[in-house]
Structure 1
Amino acid sequence: MNRRTVYKFRQLFIITAAWLVIGFLIAVYEHFVLFTNNSAGPAPGYSFLTSVLMNMGAGFIGAMVGGSALVFYVNVRYRDKSYGHTVIFVTLFFLFVVLLVNIVMRIFIEKPDSYRVLKNGLVWGIVVAVTQLFLQINSKFGQGVFWNFLRGKYNTPKEESRIFMFLDLNSSTTIAERLGDKKYHAFLKDLFSDITNPILDNKGEIYQYVGDEVIIAWKYENGIDNLKCIQCFFDIKEHLQRLNDKYLRQYDLTPAFKAGIHCGKVVAGEVGIIKRDITYSGDVLNTTSRIQGMCREFNAEVIVSADLAAELQLTGRYAVQALGAIRLKGKEKEMQLIALSR
């Protein structure tokens, strides 16, 4: 099971827990309403425990059916649609299901509680719409980033140890000129989608898309674990080789990347007023970009800093070529670089 699927199951678990809590709160609200001055009181045989079980049961069943549909179908099938489009589609579909349930109840139940069905339909319709909106916002910000916003993790800047990979598309200018603007955009969209699984499988976080470049970040311990920060590149390469027929058929080309990888301290924090974002700042980012720029000069697929290589057991798994001490553009001190291949 790849990490994208694991992440989806995690989303489903969160939805299930949230909808169970909402079901409980609905039961509590109904209980209080029954004992207000404007209420005629509870019906004969009313039980708060039964109400809790029914509402939480509805939340659980709804999460198993509706939540699964949102996570595994709607957000895959309609990921290219606008937020408003998917929210409206999901809400209307849910209300249609509620209407269908009401019709079935009228046929098979002698005295259906239509008002209760309508009330539940409206309440859970709003819950479904809000859930879908949150799923899409989370997708927009990136895995885990939206949650960090909610809990204010980076309100105060924090220093972190990170590994960065700058992944750059080979011959991007030539490809863009040949495909044209619209088709090139479609190509990048397909390409970035296809390389997502190898990135997630290696515990990478997609930090930014910059034109035809992808910036991938790792928590330091995740990146050095089993050489995931290095393995990620070669997994992407192998995955694209398996998809070669697709790209030849649709775009008449074979995509390939080059990468620079480096590690160091960065400061992570929220920036912006009109548009807020969580950004990393530090010399390591600029240095990684410069390292990636050396790939063309040395005709190398991957170049890593010696600082990072010293923390990894590269011998035996990759062909290692020491490039010597290189003065990177804009840097005063020379840096030892290493080219990798497999």
Structure 2
Amino acid sequence: MSNAKYKRYLKQSIPFGIIWLVFAVVYTFLEFGILGDSKYYPSTGNLYDFKSSFIHSCIAGFLSGFIQGWIELVWLRKLFINRALWVKVVVKSIFYVSFILIVLIIFSLLANSRLLKLGLFDPLVIRSLYVFMQEFSFWSVVIYLGLISFVALLFSEIREYVGMGVLYNFLLGKYHKPKQEIRIFMFLDMKASTTIAESIGHKQYFKLIKKYYADMTDAILETEGEIYQYVGDEIVVSWPERKGIQHNNCIRCFKKIKDAFEKNKQEYILEFGIAPDFKAGYHIGEVTIGEIGNIKKDIIYTGDILNTTARIQATCNTYKTKVLISEKLLLKLSKEKDFTHTKIGELELRGKKELVQLHSISF
């Protein structure tokens, strides 16, 4: 696993931990409200202390959530990537509840063995577990933990469908009122897409597009890009100015996508009979960002930069090059470049006096 992917999984697992932590806090206060000044748990007779319960529940809650997030991101998500949402939620929920049940049984056996000072599989220890499993308190814990894992899982699935950045922006209300930002855009388009669709058929073409976008995902995430739109065979990726310029992330994104497709070239040829190629245009400028819609909400960008970037990308055909970047963006990138550039021409925009200076990029 690459270092960048490890960091991404780490970052994406934290929200699972936070969800479990919130539920753990709620649980300890509900428990305190029920038990009050009682010194013992009624069902087990074990000592009860609010402070100790609060600390242990919070630590256990966060760690449990983090582990669930890690399992989900590293393993389970890949297994169910092509399944319907309801299948994912139901089957994964069953898995997590079963896992919780097994963990509770193991911990109960260990606790009883320690308290009774007997072997783990001593008949008296097993009997104590059996009695505990007949108590409502045991199953209430299982149900509550199952509910937490379901909520965390649902949050994860929604985040995957709408996009991590978009979901957080909606939850935090970041763009409830329109804001202006300087952002970098990359418009990336498949070459000869119409010809490809006609040659392999639209059903196969859809499968190709699905794989095409999937193979870009790691490159975009590893360079901190945000997918703004899928438009047919075109993908629009955006970066806040600082993130896009840092480590030349915006340009490295194209390089990583290019490397991924070179690595998977034979897979495309075997499955579809062709290996797709693509071109990209880059520009930087000010956009207005805000929420729109009543029935279906979305976060959109408006500004001349979007039209300009689209025009830059379309101009790749004119100069027979894969990547074109505006000089305005190029001047902001790091001097220690891992790419070379050549001034290749100018782009005249309707209604604009100033020409956009264009450079081609090669790696």
- Of the three residues 290, 295, 312, the one matched with 1:269 is 290
Q: Is contact 2:344-2:360 (8 Å) kept?
A: yes
| Structure 2 CA distance for partners of 1:62 and 1:225, relative to 1, 3 Å | closer
Q: Hey, what's the Cα distance between the residues in 2 that align with 1:76 and 1:191?
A: 17
3-state SS in 2 of match to 1:184: helix
Amino acid at match of 1:24: V
Query: Normalization by structure 1: what TM-score?
Result: 0.89
Partner of 1:339: 360
Matched, 1:112 2:116: no
Question: Which moved further from structure 2: 161-170 or 48-57?
Answer: 48-57
Question: Which moved further from structure 2: 192-201 or 145-154?
Answer: 192-201
Query: Normalization by structure 2: what TM-score?
Result: 0.84
Q: Hey, what's the Cα distance between the residues in 2 that align with 1:249 and 1:282?
A: 42
Q: Is contact 1:3-1:197 (8 Å) kept?
A: no
Unmatched 5+ stretches in structure 2: 110-124
Amino acid at match of 2:145: W
Matched, 1:81 2:101: no
| Structure 2 CA distance for partners of 1:234 and 1:101, relative to 1, 3 Å | closer
Figure out how many residues of one structure are paired with residues of the other and give that number. 338
Instruction: Output the aligned Cα RMSD.
Output: 2.6
3-state SS in 2 of match to 1:153: coil
Q: Is contact 1:83-1:133 (8 Å) kept?
A: no
Q: Cα distance, 1:197 vs. partner?
A: 1.4
Q: Cα distance, 1:297 vs. partner?
A: 1.3
Amino acid at match of 1:7: R
Amino acid at match of 2:138: V
- Of the three residues 62, 65, 85, the one matched with 2:64 is 62
Deviation readout 1:308-327 (Å, 9 max, x if unpaired)? 22333579754433233332
Amino acid at match of 1:82: A
Q: Cα distance, 1:276 vs. partner?
A: 0.7
Partner of 1:23: 24
Amino acid at match of 2:88: T
3-state SS in 2 of match to 1:120: helix
| Structure 2 CA distance for partners of 1:170 and 1:93, relative to 1, 3 Å | same
- Of the three residues 253, 256, 275, the one matched with 1:254 is 275
Q: Cα distance, 1:218 vs. partner?
A: 1.1
Q: Is contact 2:341-2:359 (8 Å) kept?
A: yes
Question: Which moved further from structure 2: 101-110 or 174-183?
Answer: 101-110
Matched, 1:311 2:332: yes
Partner of 2:266: 245
Partner of 2:8: 7
Q: Cα distance, 1:101 vs. partner?
A: 6.0
Q: Cα distance, 1:199 vs. partner?
A: 1.8
Amino acid at match of 2:80: Y
- Map residues 97-246 of structure 1 onto 2, 5 A cutoff: 97-98=99-100, 100=102, 108-110=126-128, 111-113=131-133, 114-246=135-267
Deviation readout 1:245-267 (Å, 9 max, x if unpaired)? 21112222122110111110000
3-state SS in 1 of match to 2:235: strand
Partner of 1:47: 49
Deviation readout 1:241-292 (Å, 9 max, x if unpaired)? 1111211122221221101111100001111111111111100000100111
Q: Hey, what's the Cα distance between the residues in 2 that align with 1:202 and 1:102?
A: 40
Unmatched 5+ stretches in structure 1: none
